[in-house]
Amino acid sequence: MFKKHLFPLLISILLALSAGFIGSFFTTPSISSWYAFINKPSFSPPNWLFAPVWTLLYILMGIAAFLIWQKRDNQKTKQALRFYGTQLILNALWSIIFFGMHNPGLAFLEIIFLWSFILITLIKFYQINKIAGLLFIPYLLWVSFALILNLFVWMINIS
């Protein structure tokens, strides 16, 4: 039985990780250049922390989506998976705006949408599978912190 579910689980995790990969394509070059030279608040975590935290969060998202995907035969589940897909796109888009375009102001507006879609996805997942919903809590908390960090970066770097 486990073998039957292993491939879909791996695909689900890889799909979530792909949002991180897309984001890292824009993030990595900016870490040692643009991001190194902008002002950051005192509570900004060290750069090395972001990759392991995001990797864990993408894995948890993938597992949660897999748990929901297993119940894919109804409209409520399909809707939840559409919200999940949208928040994955918004997740990658934030990195493009913040790190790729060097635009913390626009990124702040975008992360508000991202946060909203994460919350909606968490609620919809929880209604279908409580564990899947709970797996989204660390992600919501981390993006809540990122939202605050983004706001402070934007505010202290306004020229």
| Domain boundaries defined on the chain | 2-156
Other CB atoms within a 10 A radius of the CB of residue 30 amount to 17
Q: Is 148 exposed, middle or buried (0-12, 13-18, 19+ CB in 10 A)?
A: middle
What is the reported pLDDT for 3? 72
Residue pLDDT, tens place only, 22-52: 999 999 999 999 999 999 999 999 999 999 9
pTM of the model: 0.94
d(CA 139, CA 132) in angstroms, rounded, equals 12
Residue pLDDT, tens place only, 52-95: 999 999 999 999 999 999 998 899 999 999 999 999 999 999 99
Residue pLDDT, tens place only, 88-143: 999 999 999 999 999 999 999 999 999 999 999 999 999 999 999 999 999 999 99
- Cβ 108 vs Cβ 98: under 8 Å: no
- The CATH label, of 1.20.1260.100, 3.30.1300.10, 1.10.8.60, 3.40.30.10, for the domain at 2-156 is 1.20.1260.100
What is the reported pLDDT for 131? 98
What is the reported pLDDT for 2? 61
